[in-house]
Amino acid sequence: MDSLSWLDFTNLAVAILGLVVSTFLSILLFRLGRRLTFRSRMGTWDEYRDTSRRLFVNTNPERLPEIILINAKRYERDYDGGNNVNRHGDLQTRAELLDIRHNGIEVVCEIVSTWWAPDGRRTLTETARAAPNAMMIGVVPFRFIEHINVSGDEYRYSPIYYVSYRGPGKSPYSHFKYVESQGSPLGPSGRLYYATIDDLKELRRGRFVSWLQLQNYRVRSYRFERATRKGKDRLPGRS
């Protein structure tokens, strides 16, 4: 009986030791995997960063490089050079590359009007005093980018960024900010320096509001495509 109890104790100790060792090895492999994944991700981001910087080399300093953002999820099935929107977002977005961040790129989305508020700060709300226009900049994180094709394709000769449209409203942007030119060159390239307008805070659109905007955009896009198809189907000389 004593020998049997001792044997049971030995088996239990071996089982516990095996569990401890397997747990330790699992944690070790998990941490090693995370380290390798981080290094691999940083290496990929370095490639994206270097590729993006090279786009400025052969571009007129007075202009910004034009790029195309293509929805990676829709590319293989839907891409034909055109653009439309569905529940996965736009098929493609044209933009101008403004700057490269440590974790992504900044592109020009649109030019917006700004005004001076009574307290002297800049505002997007119209007042009696107009202020200089500002650029609305969309930030595309490197973690959204799947691939970069600097040569373009048969539809566009501009560099193409294949992006996961994971931002609010199925957009390629994590958030937006507002900048303006300072009117002085930065460095030997002679490119202008664009500073963030502190009075106009970063714009981080809520996901629900962005979803509503996407649905409205989808309806308008569908109506436009339908009207375009009807126009093409009409015979010449007939109304």
Instruction: Give per-residue pLDDT as tens, 193-209.
Output: 888 898 887 766 555 55
How confident is the model over 89-104, as a mean pLDDT? 90
> Between 36 and 15, where is the model more confident?
15
CA distance 138 to 176: 5
Q: Give the DSSP H/E element, type plus range, for residue 93.
A: strand 92-100
The average confidence (pLDDT) of the chain is 79
40-44, 104-108, 111-115, 212-216: range with lowest mean pLDDT: 212-216
* CB-CB contact of 194 with 180 (8 Å): yes
15-24, 45-54, 150-159: range with lowest mean pLDDT: 15-24
Whole-prediction pTM:
0.69
